[in-house]
Structure 1
Amino acid sequence: MHEFSLKIWGVRGSTPTPGTGTLRYGGETTCFEIRAGDDLIVVDCGSGARNLGYELVKGPGRPVDLFFSHTHLDHICGLPFFKPAYDPRFHIKVWAGCFNPHRELKDVICRVMSPPVFPITASNLKGIEFGEFIAGSCMDRDSGLRICTMPLNHPGGACGYKFIYDGKSMCIITDHEMGDAEIDDAVVEFIRDAEVVIYDGMYTSVDYEKYKGYGHSTWEHVVEQCVKANVKTPVIFHHDPTRTDDELDEIGIAAKERHPGALIASEGMVFRP
Protein backbone atom coordinates (compact mmCIF):
# COMPACT_ATOMS: atom_id res chain seq x y z
CA MET A 1 0.00 0.00 0.00
CA HIS A 2 1.41 3.40 -0.98
CA GLU A 3 1.44 6.30 1.45
CA PHE A 4 -1.61 8.55 1.64
CA SER A 5 -1.23 11.24 4.27
CA LEU A 6 -2.11 14.83 5.12
CA LYS A 7 -0.03 16.96 7.48
CA ILE A 8 -1.08 20.34 8.86
CA TRP A 9 1.61 23.05 8.91
CA GLY A 10 -0.60 26.02 9.73
CA VAL A 11 -4.00 26.31 11.43
CA ARG A 12 -4.77 30.03 11.91
CA GLY A 13 -6.89 32.40 9.89
CA SER A 14 -6.28 36.05 9.00
CA THR A 15 -2.80 36.54 10.47
CA PRO A 16 -0.02 34.57 12.19
CA THR A 17 -0.45 34.58 15.97
CA PRO A 18 2.75 33.79 17.88
CA GLY A 19 2.55 33.95 21.67
CA THR A 20 2.01 32.01 24.86
CA GLY A 21 -1.71 31.59 24.20
CA THR A 22 -1.25 29.66 20.94
CA LEU A 23 1.62 27.32 21.77
CA ARG A 24 -0.32 24.05 21.79
CA TYR A 25 -2.46 24.41 18.65
CA GLY A 26 -0.09 26.71 16.80
CA GLY A 27 -0.08 30.22 15.38
CA GLU A 28 0.94 29.78 11.72
CA THR A 29 -1.54 30.35 8.89
CA THR A 30 -2.84 27.83 6.40
CA CYS A 31 -0.60 25.20 4.84
CA PHE A 32 -1.11 21.47 4.19
CA GLU A 33 1.19 18.76 2.88
CA ILE A 34 -0.48 15.83 1.08
CA ARG A 35 1.44 12.76 -0.02
CA ALA A 36 -0.12 10.12 -2.26
CA GLY A 37 2.16 7.57 -3.86
CA ASP A 38 4.81 9.57 -5.71
CA ASP A 39 2.84 12.82 -5.53
CA LEU A 40 3.66 15.68 -3.18
CA ILE A 41 0.87 18.25 -3.01
CA VAL A 42 0.94 21.45 -0.99
CA VAL A 43 -2.34 23.28 -0.39
CA ASP A 44 -1.95 26.97 0.44
CA CYS A 45 1.24 28.77 1.28
CA GLY A 46 0.44 30.66 4.46
CA SER A 47 3.11 31.31 7.06
CA GLY A 48 3.19 27.58 7.91
CA ALA A 49 4.82 26.93 4.52
CA ARG A 50 8.08 28.38 5.79
CA ASN A 51 8.67 25.42 8.12
CA LEU A 52 7.49 22.93 5.50
CA GLY A 53 10.01 24.40 3.07
CA TYR A 54 12.85 23.98 5.55
CA GLU A 55 12.00 20.28 5.80
CA LEU A 56 11.70 19.73 2.06
CA VAL A 57 15.08 21.22 1.14
CA LYS A 58 16.78 18.77 3.52
CA GLY A 59 15.89 16.04 1.04
CA PRO A 60 16.46 15.60 -2.69
CA GLY A 61 14.82 17.94 -5.20
CA ARG A 62 11.53 16.79 -6.65
CA PRO A 63 8.33 17.99 -8.35
CA VAL A 64 5.82 19.75 -6.08
CA ASP A 65 2.29 20.84 -6.95
CA LEU A 66 1.12 23.87 -4.97
CA PHE A 67 -2.65 24.41 -5.01
CA PHE A 68 -4.21 27.57 -3.60
CA SER A 69 -7.68 27.63 -2.08
CA HIS A 70 -7.56 31.37 -2.84
CA THR A 71 -5.02 34.17 -2.66
CA HIS A 72 -5.90 36.22 0.41
CA LEU A 73 -2.75 37.24 2.22
CA ASP A 74 -2.94 34.70 5.05
CA HIS A 75 -2.90 31.93 2.43
CA ILE A 76 0.01 33.21 0.33
CA CYS A 77 2.25 35.11 2.79
CA GLY A 78 4.59 32.11 3.16
CA LEU A 79 5.46 31.88 -0.53
CA PRO A 80 8.30 34.46 -0.40
CA PHE A 81 9.83 32.36 2.43
CA PHE A 82 9.22 28.91 0.91
CA LYS A 83 12.78 27.73 0.27
CA PRO A 84 12.02 25.12 -2.45
CA ALA A 85 10.69 27.96 -4.61
CA TYR A 86 14.27 29.32 -4.84
CA ASP A 87 15.99 25.93 -5.17
CA PRO A 88 16.60 24.81 -8.79
CA ARG A 89 16.45 21.16 -7.66
CA PHE A 90 12.67 21.58 -7.26
CA HIS A 91 10.07 22.02 -9.97
CA ILE A 92 6.95 23.65 -8.56
CA LYS A 93 3.68 23.90 -10.45
CA VAL A 94 1.36 26.45 -8.88
CA TRP A 95 -2.40 26.15 -9.34
CA ALA A 96 -5.56 28.11 -8.56
CA GLY A 97 -9.16 27.63 -9.61
CA CYS A 98 -10.83 30.52 -7.84
CA PHE A 99 -10.31 33.33 -10.37
CA ASN A 100 -12.56 34.86 -12.96
CA PRO A 101 -11.18 35.07 -16.52
CA HIS A 102 -9.89 38.61 -15.94
CA ARG A 103 -7.27 37.71 -13.34
CA GLU A 104 -4.38 35.26 -13.35
CA LEU A 105 -2.49 33.63 -10.50
CA LYS A 106 0.88 34.79 -11.86
CA ASP A 107 -0.27 38.41 -11.73
CA VAL A 108 -1.30 38.07 -8.08
CA ILE A 109 2.04 36.55 -7.07
CA CYS A 110 3.97 39.24 -8.94
CA ARG A 111 1.97 41.97 -7.19
CA VAL A 112 2.78 40.54 -3.76
CA MET A 113 6.44 39.90 -4.56
CA SER A 114 7.47 43.30 -5.88
CA PRO A 115 8.87 46.49 -4.35
CA PRO A 116 7.87 48.32 -2.25
CA VAL A 117 5.75 45.49 -0.79
CA PHE A 118 8.60 42.93 -0.86
CA PRO A 119 12.24 43.43 -1.90
CA ILE A 120 12.61 40.18 -3.88
CA THR A 121 10.60 39.91 -7.09
CA ALA A 122 8.76 36.82 -8.27
CA SER A 123 11.34 36.44 -11.05
CA ASN A 124 13.69 35.01 -8.39
CA LEU A 125 11.46 31.98 -7.91
CA LYS A 126 13.18 29.08 -9.67
CA GLY A 127 11.43 26.31 -11.56
CA ILE A 128 7.95 27.79 -11.10
CA GLU A 129 5.22 26.95 -13.61
CA PHE A 130 1.67 28.28 -13.39
CA GLY A 131 -1.48 26.28 -14.04
CA GLU A 132 -5.16 27.07 -13.71
CA PHE A 133 -8.39 25.10 -13.61
CA ILE A 134 -12.07 25.83 -13.08
CA ALA A 135 -13.38 25.02 -9.60
CA GLY A 136 -15.80 22.12 -9.98
CA SER A 137 -13.46 19.99 -12.11
CA CYS A 138 -11.40 16.90 -11.24
CA MET A 139 -7.81 16.05 -12.12
CA ASP A 140 -6.41 12.53 -12.37
CA ARG A 141 -2.73 12.01 -11.64
CA ASP A 142 -0.40 9.28 -12.89
CA SER A 143 0.05 8.13 -9.28
CA GLY A 144 -3.64 7.19 -9.07
CA LEU A 145 -4.50 10.26 -7.00
CA ARG A 146 -7.70 12.04 -8.02
CA ILE A 147 -8.12 15.69 -7.04
CA CYS A 148 -11.67 17.04 -7.16
CA THR A 149 -12.57 20.67 -6.58
CA MET A 150 -15.60 22.82 -5.82
CA PRO A 151 -16.30 26.56 -5.51
CA LEU A 152 -16.80 27.85 -1.97
CA ASN A 153 -18.65 30.85 -0.55
CA HIS A 154 -15.95 33.42 0.25
CA PRO A 155 -15.34 37.06 -0.74
CA GLY A 156 -13.45 36.98 -4.05
CA GLY A 157 -13.99 33.23 -4.40
CA ALA A 158 -12.30 30.16 -2.95
CA CYS A 159 -11.87 26.51 -3.88
CA GLY A 160 -12.39 23.35 -1.85
CA TYR A 161 -10.38 20.18 -2.51
CA LYS A 162 -11.03 16.44 -2.21
CA PHE A 163 -8.12 14.01 -2.52
CA ILE A 164 -9.08 10.44 -3.40
CA TYR A 165 -6.49 7.64 -3.31
CA ASP A 166 -6.75 3.87 -2.88
CA GLY A 167 -10.47 4.19 -2.16
CA LYS A 168 -9.98 6.72 0.66
CA SER A 169 -10.72 10.44 0.63
CA MET A 170 -9.64 13.54 2.56
CA CYS A 171 -11.10 17.01 2.01
CA ILE A 172 -10.10 20.62 2.65
CA ILE A 173 -12.95 23.16 2.91
CA THR A 174 -11.37 26.55 3.61
CA ASP A 175 -12.29 29.44 3.45
CA HIS A 176 -16.07 29.09 3.38
CA GLU A 177 -19.03 30.98 4.82
CA MET A 178 -22.13 29.06 5.79
CA GLY A 179 -25.61 30.32 4.99
CA ASP A 180 -26.03 29.75 1.25
CA ALA A 181 -28.24 26.66 1.31
CA GLU A 182 -27.37 25.56 -2.21
CA ILE A 183 -23.61 25.74 -1.62
CA ASP A 184 -23.87 24.20 1.84
CA ASP A 185 -25.81 21.27 0.41
CA ALA A 186 -23.19 20.91 -2.33
CA VAL A 187 -20.44 20.80 0.32
CA VAL A 188 -22.25 17.96 2.12
CA GLU A 189 -22.29 15.93 -1.10
CA PHE A 190 -18.68 16.84 -1.86
CA ILE A 191 -17.41 15.58 1.52
CA ARG A 192 -19.81 12.66 1.86
CA ASP A 193 -18.26 9.54 3.48
CA ALA A 194 -14.78 11.12 3.61
CA GLU A 195 -12.36 9.79 6.18
CA VAL A 196 -11.01 13.25 7.08
CA VAL A 197 -12.45 16.72 6.43
CA ILE A 198 -10.54 19.88 7.33
CA TYR A 199 -13.25 22.56 7.54
CA ASP A 200 -13.30 26.30 8.24
CA GLY A 201 -14.88 26.76 11.68
CA MET A 202 -13.36 30.12 12.55
CA TYR A 203 -16.27 31.38 14.64
CA THR A 204 -18.62 30.29 17.38
CA SER A 205 -22.34 30.81 16.89
CA VAL A 206 -22.11 33.84 19.18
CA ASP A 207 -19.19 35.32 17.20
CA TYR A 208 -20.94 34.82 13.90
CA GLU A 209 -23.65 37.36 14.65
CA LYS A 210 -20.93 40.05 14.51
CA TYR A 211 -19.05 38.66 11.51
CA LYS A 212 -21.64 37.68 8.92
CA GLY A 213 -20.26 38.37 5.48
CA TYR A 214 -16.61 37.93 6.49
CA GLY A 215 -16.42 34.60 4.67
CA HIS A 216 -16.25 31.97 7.41
CA SER A 217 -18.36 29.38 9.24
CA THR A 218 -18.92 28.36 12.85
CA TRP A 219 -17.56 25.21 14.43
CA GLU A 220 -21.15 24.18 15.16
CA HIS A 221 -21.94 24.33 11.45
CA VAL A 222 -18.81 22.31 10.63
CA VAL A 223 -19.88 19.49 12.91
CA GLU A 224 -23.47 19.60 11.62
CA GLN A 225 -22.30 19.38 8.01
CA CYS A 226 -19.97 16.49 8.78
CA VAL A 227 -22.70 14.57 10.62
CA LYS A 228 -24.98 14.97 7.57
CA ALA A 229 -22.18 13.75 5.29
CA ASN A 230 -21.17 10.76 7.43
CA VAL A 231 -17.61 12.07 7.79
CA LYS A 232 -15.40 9.95 10.03
CA THR A 233 -13.10 12.71 11.33
CA PRO A 234 -14.20 16.36 11.15
CA VAL A 235 -11.27 18.71 11.84
CA ILE A 236 -12.20 22.26 12.90
CA PHE A 237 -9.77 24.65 11.28
CA HIS A 238 -8.85 28.28 10.43
CA HIS A 239 -8.86 29.37 14.06
CA ASP A 240 -9.64 32.97 14.89
CA PRO A 241 -6.37 34.76 15.72
CA THR A 242 -7.85 35.85 19.08
CA ARG A 243 -8.77 32.26 20.04
CA THR A 244 -6.53 30.91 22.82
CA ASP A 245 -5.52 27.30 23.33
CA ASP A 246 -7.78 27.05 26.37
CA GLU A 247 -10.76 28.32 24.37
CA LEU A 248 -10.00 25.81 21.61
CA ASP A 249 -9.93 23.08 24.27
CA GLU A 250 -13.47 24.04 25.26
CA ILE A 251 -14.65 24.01 21.65
CA GLY A 252 -13.06 20.59 21.18
CA ILE A 253 -14.95 19.16 24.16
CA ALA A 254 -18.25 20.59 22.92
CA ALA A 255 -17.62 19.36 19.37
CA LYS A 256 -16.96 15.79 20.55
CA GLU A 257 -20.32 15.78 22.28
CA ARG A 258 -21.90 16.29 18.85
CA HIS A 259 -19.51 14.04 16.87
CA PRO A 260 -17.16 11.65 18.72
CA GLY A 261 -14.57 11.88 15.93
CA ALA A 262 -14.35 15.68 15.89
CA LEU A 263 -10.92 17.27 16.41
CA ILE A 264 -9.46 20.75 16.70
CA ALA A 265 -6.73 21.26 14.10
CA SER A 266 -3.22 21.68 15.48
CA GLU A 267 0.10 22.16 13.77
CA GLY A 268 1.92 18.89 13.18
CA MET A 269 -1.22 16.74 13.00
CA VAL A 270 -0.86 13.92 10.47
CA PHE A 271 -3.76 11.92 9.07
CA ARG A 272 -3.39 8.54 7.36
CA PRO A 273 -6.87 7.27 6.48
Structure 2
Amino acid sequence: MSNTENQFTATFWGVRGSIASPGSATVRYGGNTPCVEMRVGSDRLIFDGGTGIRVLGQALLSQMPLEAHMFFTHSHWDHIQGFPFFVPAFAKGNRFNIYGAIAPNGSTMEQRLNDQMLHPNFPVPLQIMGADLKFNDIEVGQAVKINDVLVQNALLNHPGQAVGYRVNWRGHAAAYVTDTEHFPDHLDENVLFLADQADLLIYDATYTDEEYHSKQFSKVGWGHSTWQEAVKIAKAANVKTLVIFHHDPLHSDDFLDQVGAEVAAAFPNSLMAREGLVIQISPPTDRVEPVLIEAELGVSV
Protein backbone atom coordinates (compact mmCIF):
# COMPACT_ATOMS: atom_id res chain seq x y z
CA MET A 1 0.00 0.00 0.00
CA SER A 2 1.39 3.43 -0.94
CA ASN A 3 2.26 6.20 1.48
CA THR A 4 -0.59 8.24 0.02
CA GLU A 5 -3.10 5.52 0.87
CA ASN A 6 -1.76 5.37 4.44
CA GLN A 7 -1.75 9.10 5.18
CA PHE A 8 -3.99 11.00 7.57
CA THR A 9 -2.64 14.52 7.98
CA ALA A 10 -3.94 18.00 8.79
CA THR A 11 -2.37 21.13 7.29
CA PHE A 12 -3.21 24.59 8.58
CA TRP A 13 -3.52 27.30 5.90
CA GLY A 14 -5.46 29.87 7.97
CA VAL A 15 -5.74 29.95 11.77
CA ARG A 16 -6.96 33.45 12.63
CA GLY A 17 -10.54 34.29 13.58
CA SER A 18 -12.93 37.11 12.75
CA ILE A 19 -10.84 39.13 10.30
CA ALA A 20 -7.57 38.66 8.44
CA SER A 21 -4.77 40.26 10.44
CA PRO A 22 -1.54 40.71 8.49
CA GLY A 23 1.33 42.65 9.99
CA SER A 24 4.62 42.44 11.81
CA ALA A 25 2.95 41.23 15.03
CA THR A 26 1.32 38.17 13.42
CA VAL A 27 4.10 36.83 11.20
CA ARG A 28 4.89 33.65 13.12
CA TYR A 29 1.35 32.36 13.65
CA GLY A 30 -0.16 33.96 10.57
CA GLY A 31 -3.01 36.35 9.89
CA ASN A 32 -5.19 34.36 7.45
CA THR A 33 -8.69 33.28 8.45
CA PRO A 34 -9.73 29.63 8.80
CA CYS A 35 -8.81 26.93 6.34
CA VAL A 36 -7.63 23.44 7.29
CA GLU A 37 -6.76 20.75 4.74
CA MET A 38 -6.88 17.06 5.67
CA ARG A 39 -5.39 14.34 3.50
CA VAL A 40 -7.17 11.12 4.40
CA GLY A 41 -6.00 8.14 2.41
CA SER A 42 -6.39 9.14 -1.22
CA ASP A 43 -8.97 11.85 -0.44
CA ARG A 44 -8.46 15.57 0.13
CA LEU A 45 -10.83 17.32 2.56
CA ILE A 46 -10.86 21.10 3.03
CA PHE A 47 -12.53 22.72 6.02
CA ASP A 48 -13.73 26.31 5.62
CA GLY A 49 -12.81 28.88 3.01
CA GLY A 50 -11.33 31.80 4.90
CA THR A 51 -8.45 33.76 3.40
CA GLY A 52 -6.16 30.80 4.06
CA ILE A 53 -7.79 28.92 1.18
CA ARG A 54 -6.21 31.37 -1.26
CA VAL A 55 -2.75 30.22 -0.14
CA LEU A 56 -3.85 26.58 -0.33
CA GLY A 57 -5.07 27.21 -3.86
CA GLN A 58 -1.66 28.48 -4.93
CA ALA A 59 -0.01 25.35 -3.52
CA LEU A 60 -2.46 23.11 -5.42
CA LEU A 61 -1.81 24.62 -8.85
CA SER A 62 1.03 22.18 -9.46
CA GLN A 63 -1.24 19.22 -8.63
CA MET A 64 -4.08 19.84 -11.07
CA PRO A 65 -6.33 18.33 -12.22
CA LEU A 66 -7.61 17.57 -8.75
CA GLU A 67 -10.70 16.65 -6.76
CA ALA A 68 -11.46 17.72 -3.21
CA HIS A 69 -14.30 17.77 -0.71
CA MET A 70 -14.97 21.15 0.94
CA PHE A 71 -16.84 21.35 4.24
CA PHE A 72 -18.09 24.71 5.55
CA THR A 73 -18.91 25.19 9.22
CA HIS A 74 -21.02 28.28 8.47
CA SER A 75 -20.95 31.36 6.29
CA HIS A 76 -19.69 34.17 8.48
CA TRP A 77 -17.27 36.25 6.43
CA ASP A 78 -14.07 34.96 7.98
CA HIS A 79 -14.98 31.43 6.87
CA ILE A 80 -15.97 32.12 3.26
CA GLN A 81 -14.16 35.30 2.17
CA GLY A 82 -11.24 33.44 0.62
CA PHE A 83 -13.39 31.22 -1.60
CA PRO A 84 -13.64 33.77 -4.49
CA PHE A 85 -9.81 33.80 -4.59
CA PHE A 86 -9.39 30.00 -4.68
CA VAL A 87 -7.75 29.76 -8.10
CA PRO A 88 -8.26 26.00 -8.71
CA ALA A 89 -12.03 26.60 -8.67
CA PHE A 90 -11.65 28.64 -11.87
CA ALA A 91 -9.88 25.85 -13.79
CA LYS A 92 -11.75 23.34 -15.92
CA GLY A 93 -10.92 19.73 -15.12
CA ASN A 94 -10.99 20.23 -11.34
CA ARG A 95 -13.89 18.96 -9.25
CA PHE A 96 -15.00 20.20 -5.84
CA ASN A 97 -17.74 18.59 -3.79
CA ILE A 98 -18.99 21.31 -1.44
CA TYR A 99 -20.91 20.56 1.76
CA GLY A 100 -22.74 22.82 4.19
CA ALA A 101 -25.83 22.87 6.37
CA ILE A 102 -28.85 24.91 5.39
CA ALA A 103 -28.96 28.14 7.42
CA PRO A 104 -31.84 28.91 9.80
CA ASN A 105 -33.24 31.35 7.21
CA GLY A 106 -33.40 28.54 4.65
CA SER A 107 -30.46 29.61 2.49
CA THR A 108 -28.11 26.95 1.17
CA MET A 109 -24.32 27.15 1.17
CA GLU A 110 -24.45 27.54 -2.61
CA GLN A 111 -26.73 30.57 -2.27
CA ARG A 112 -24.49 32.17 0.33
CA LEU A 113 -21.28 31.63 -1.62
CA ASN A 114 -23.07 32.96 -4.70
CA ASP A 115 -24.37 36.04 -2.91
CA GLN A 116 -20.95 37.19 -1.70
CA MET A 117 -19.75 37.23 -5.32
CA LEU A 118 -22.61 39.33 -6.68
CA HIS A 119 -22.34 43.00 -7.65
CA PRO A 120 -21.64 45.37 -5.99
CA ASN A 121 -19.64 43.17 -3.61
CA PHE A 122 -17.44 41.36 -6.13
CA PRO A 123 -16.47 41.85 -9.81
CA VAL A 124 -17.17 38.32 -11.13
CA PRO A 125 -19.97 35.87 -10.25
CA LEU A 126 -19.57 32.36 -8.91
CA GLN A 127 -20.81 31.01 -12.24
CA ILE A 128 -17.57 32.08 -13.95
CA MET A 129 -15.71 29.40 -12.00
CA GLY A 130 -14.74 26.74 -14.53
CA ALA A 131 -14.30 23.79 -12.18
CA ASP A 132 -17.08 21.27 -11.61
CA LEU A 133 -18.68 22.50 -8.39
CA LYS A 134 -21.13 20.04 -6.86
CA PHE A 135 -23.05 21.49 -3.90
CA ASN A 136 -24.43 19.16 -1.23
CA ASP A 137 -26.86 20.31 1.45
CA ILE A 138 -26.36 18.33 4.65
CA GLU A 139 -28.60 18.09 7.67
CA VAL A 140 -27.29 18.68 11.17
CA GLY A 141 -26.24 15.25 12.40
CA GLN A 142 -26.07 13.74 8.90
CA ALA A 143 -22.91 11.74 8.19
CA VAL A 144 -21.13 11.91 4.84
CA LYS A 145 -19.30 8.85 3.49
CA ILE A 146 -16.37 9.46 1.12
CA ASN A 147 -14.88 6.09 0.19
CA ASP A 148 -13.69 4.73 3.57
CA VAL A 149 -13.81 8.15 5.26
CA LEU A 150 -16.81 9.02 7.46
CA VAL A 151 -17.43 12.71 8.19
CA GLN A 152 -19.87 13.39 11.02
CA ASN A 153 -21.20 16.76 12.14
CA ALA A 154 -22.92 18.26 15.15
CA LEU A 155 -24.49 21.62 15.98
CA LEU A 156 -22.29 24.16 17.74
CA ASN A 157 -23.24 27.07 19.98
CA HIS A 158 -22.70 30.03 17.66
CA PRO A 159 -24.91 32.98 16.60
CA GLY A 160 -26.60 32.19 13.28
CA GLN A 161 -25.68 28.49 13.57
CA ALA A 162 -22.48 26.60 12.88
CA VAL A 163 -21.56 22.93 12.77
CA GLY A 164 -18.40 21.13 13.79
CA TYR A 165 -16.99 18.09 12.03
CA ARG A 166 -15.40 14.78 12.98
CA VAL A 167 -13.37 12.87 10.40
CA ASN A 168 -13.18 9.11 11.02
CA TRP A 169 -10.80 6.83 9.15
CA ARG A 170 -9.50 3.35 9.99
CA GLY A 171 -9.93 3.72 13.73
CA HIS A 172 -8.51 7.25 13.87
CA ALA A 173 -10.38 10.55 14.24
CA ALA A 174 -9.81 14.28 13.92
CA ALA A 175 -12.31 16.85 15.18
CA TYR A 176 -12.66 20.36 13.73
CA VAL A 177 -14.64 22.42 16.25
CA THR A 178 -14.92 26.10 15.34
CA ASP A 179 -16.82 28.43 15.97
CA THR A 180 -18.44 27.58 19.28
CA GLU A 181 -19.08 29.08 22.71
CA HIS A 182 -18.94 26.95 25.83
CA PHE A 183 -21.81 26.80 28.31
CA PRO A 184 -21.32 28.28 31.79
CA ASP A 185 -22.45 25.25 33.81
CA HIS A 186 -21.71 22.14 31.73
CA LEU A 187 -19.62 20.81 28.88
CA ASP A 188 -21.31 20.85 25.48
CA GLU A 189 -22.50 17.32 24.66
CA ASN A 190 -22.17 17.98 20.93
CA VAL A 191 -18.55 19.04 21.30
CA LEU A 192 -17.84 16.02 23.50
CA PHE A 193 -19.35 13.78 20.79
CA LEU A 194 -17.12 15.28 18.10
CA ALA A 195 -14.02 15.13 20.30
CA ASP A 196 -14.54 11.71 21.90
CA GLN A 197 -11.25 9.77 21.95
CA ALA A 198 -10.03 11.83 18.97
CA ASP A 199 -6.41 11.69 17.90
CA LEU A 200 -6.65 15.41 17.15
CA LEU A 201 -9.00 18.14 18.40
CA ILE A 202 -8.88 21.52 16.67
CA TYR A 203 -10.80 23.86 18.96
CA ASP A 204 -11.96 27.48 18.85
CA ALA A 205 -10.12 29.15 21.71
CA THR A 206 -10.37 32.75 20.59
CA TYR A 207 -10.20 34.20 24.10
CA THR A 208 -8.65 33.69 27.47
CA ASP A 209 -10.98 33.30 30.45
CA GLU A 210 -9.97 36.79 31.57
CA GLU A 211 -10.96 38.33 28.23
CA TYR A 212 -14.17 36.33 28.03
CA HIS A 213 -15.35 37.48 31.46
CA SER A 214 -13.99 41.04 31.23
CA LYS A 215 -16.26 43.52 33.02
CA GLN A 216 -15.44 46.25 30.51
CA PHE A 217 -15.25 44.23 27.27
CA SER A 218 -17.19 41.05 27.99
CA LYS A 219 -17.20 38.46 25.18
CA VAL A 220 -20.09 36.44 26.61
CA GLY A 221 -22.55 35.70 23.82
CA TRP A 222 -20.08 36.38 20.99
CA GLY A 223 -19.97 32.72 19.97
CA HIS A 224 -16.39 31.77 20.86
CA SER A 225 -14.61 29.88 23.60
CA THR A 226 -11.38 30.01 25.62
CA TRP A 227 -8.26 27.91 25.91
CA GLN A 228 -9.20 26.98 29.46
CA GLU A 229 -12.45 25.45 28.16
CA ALA A 230 -10.50 23.72 25.38
CA VAL A 231 -8.42 21.95 28.01
CA LYS A 232 -11.55 20.86 29.89
CA ILE A 233 -13.00 19.35 26.72
CA ALA A 234 -9.72 17.66 25.75
CA LYS A 235 -9.42 16.02 29.17
CA ALA A 236 -13.07 14.98 29.40
CA ALA A 237 -13.05 13.52 25.88
CA ASN A 238 -9.66 11.82 26.32
CA VAL A 239 -8.20 13.61 23.31
CA LYS A 240 -4.66 12.68 22.32
CA THR A 241 -3.59 16.07 20.90
CA LEU A 242 -5.25 19.47 21.31
CA VAL A 243 -4.73 22.33 18.85
CA ILE A 244 -5.70 25.87 19.88
CA PHE A 245 -7.33 27.55 16.86
CA HIS A 246 -9.21 30.67 15.63
CA HIS A 247 -6.84 33.15 17.27
CA ASP A 248 -8.22 36.57 18.10
CA PRO A 249 -7.06 39.23 15.59
CA LEU A 250 -5.73 41.30 18.50
CA HIS A 251 -3.49 38.51 19.77
CA SER A 252 0.11 39.06 18.73
CA ASP A 253 2.73 36.36 18.25
CA ASP A 254 4.18 37.13 21.67
CA PHE A 255 0.75 36.89 23.29
CA LEU A 256 0.10 33.55 21.60
CA ASP A 257 3.50 32.30 22.77
CA GLN A 258 2.39 32.98 26.35
CA VAL A 259 -0.99 31.31 25.79
CA GLY A 260 0.79 28.30 24.31
CA ALA A 261 2.98 27.96 27.39
CA GLU A 262 -0.06 28.08 29.67
CA VAL A 263 -1.97 25.55 27.55
CA ALA A 264 1.02 23.19 27.51
CA ALA A 265 1.29 23.37 31.29
CA ALA A 266 -2.39 22.42 31.60
CA PHE A 267 -2.45 19.86 28.76
CA PRO A 268 1.03 18.74 27.65
CA ASN A 269 -0.06 17.23 24.33
CA SER A 270 -1.13 20.57 22.88
CA LEU A 271 -0.11 22.88 20.05
CA MET A 272 -0.90 26.40 18.96
CA ALA A 273 -2.24 26.47 15.41
CA ARG A 274 -0.03 28.37 12.99
CA GLU A 275 0.01 28.69 9.23
CA GLY A 276 2.08 25.95 7.67
CA LEU A 277 1.68 23.52 10.55
CA VAL A 278 1.33 19.91 9.35
CA ILE A 279 0.20 17.24 11.81
CA GLN A 280 0.39 13.53 11.10
CA ILE A 281 -2.68 11.94 12.65
CA SER A 282 -2.05 8.34 11.57
CA PRO A 283 -0.18 6.40 12.68
CA PRO A 284 -0.71 7.98 16.11
CA THR A 285 2.21 8.96 18.30
CA ASP A 286 2.48 9.73 21.99
CA ARG A 287 3.35 13.28 21.04
CA VAL A 288 2.58 14.93 17.74
CA GLU A 289 5.68 16.41 16.15
CA PRO A 290 4.66 19.43 14.06
CA VAL A 291 6.25 20.26 10.74
CA LEU A 292 6.24 23.67 9.06
CA ILE A 293 6.01 23.74 5.28
CA GLU A 294 8.24 26.76 4.82
CA ALA A 295 8.70 26.37 1.08
CA GLU A 296 5.00 26.67 0.31
CA LEU A 297 4.07 29.36 2.78
CA GLY A 298 7.22 31.39 3.10
CA VAL A 299 7.00 31.41 6.90
CA SER A 300 10.07 31.81 9.04
CA VAL A 301 10.55 29.60 12.06
TM category (shorter chain) comes to over 0.9
Counterpart residue number, 1:135: 140
Counterpart residue number, 1:212: 220
AA of the residue aligned to 1:133: I
Q: CA deviation at 1:98?
A: 5.1
Q: CA deviation at 1:190?
A: 2.4
CA distance in 2, matches of 1:217, 1:244: 18
Counterpart residue number, 1:145: 149
CA distance in 1, matches of 2:163, 2:49: 14
CA distance in 2, matches of 1:88, 1:72: 28
Counterpart residue number, 1:175: 179
Counterpart residue number, 1:89: 93
> Helix, strand or coil: the match of 2:166?
strand
CA distance in 2, matches of 1:186, 1:112: 30
Counterpart residue number, 2:48: 44
AA of the residue aligned to 2:143: C
Contact 1:22 1:244 in 2 (8 A): yes
Mapping for residues 6-155 of structure 1, pairs under 5 Å = 6-97=10-101, 99-100=103-104, 102-126=106-130, 127-142=132-147, 144-155=148-159
Q: CA deviation at 1:183?
A: 6.8
CA distance in 1, matches of 2:247, 2:84: 23
CA distance in 2, matches of 1:137, 1:110: 24
Counterpart residue number, 2:229: 221
Contact 1:69 1:98 in 2 (8 A): no
Alignment gaps of 5+ in structure 2:
282-301
CA distance in 2, matches of 1:197, 1:146: 16
CA distance in 2, matches of 1:176, 1:66: 20
Contact 2:155 2:190 in 1 (8 A): no
Q: CA deviation at 1:180?
A: 6.4
Q: CA deviation at 1:81?
A: 0.4
Counterpart residue number, 1:251: 259
- Judged with a 3 Å threshold, the aligned counterparts in structure 2 of structure 1 residues 86 and 222 are, in CA distance, closer, same or farther, namely same
CA distance in 2, matches of 1:246, 1:89: 43
> Helix, strand or coil: the match of 2:111?
helix
Encode CA deviations 1:106-152: one digit per residue, 9 max, x unaligned.
2111210011100011111221121111121212222x111111110
Contact 2:14 2:35 in 1 (8 A): yes
Alpha-carbon RMSD across the aligned residues, in angstroms, is 1.4
Q: CA deviation at 1:270?
A: 1.0
AA of the residue aligned to 2:133: I
> Helix, strand or coil: the match of 1:40?
strand
> Helix, strand or coil: the match of 1:57?
helix
Alignment gaps of 5+ in structure 1:
none
Mapping for residues 173-212 of structure 1, pairs under 5 Å = 173-179=177-183, 184-209=188-213, 210-212=218-220
Encode CA deviations 1:72-122: one digit per residue, 9 max, x unaligned.
000001011001110112111211025237211121112100111000111
AA of the residue aligned to 2:251: R
Worse-superposed segment, 199-208 or 96-105: 96-105
CA distance in 2, matches of 1:31, 1:117: 22
CA distance in 2, matches of 1:80, 1:261: 36
AA of the residue aligned to 1:265: A
AA of the residue aligned to 2:107: R
Q: CA deviation at 1:182?
A: 6.7
Q: CA deviation at 1:192?
A: 1.2
Contact 1:98 1:151 in 2 (8 A): no
Counterpart residue number, 1:263: 271
CA distance in 2, matches of 1:181, 1:95: 32
Q: CA deviation at 1:244?
A: 0.4
- TM-score, with structure 2 as normaliser: 0.87
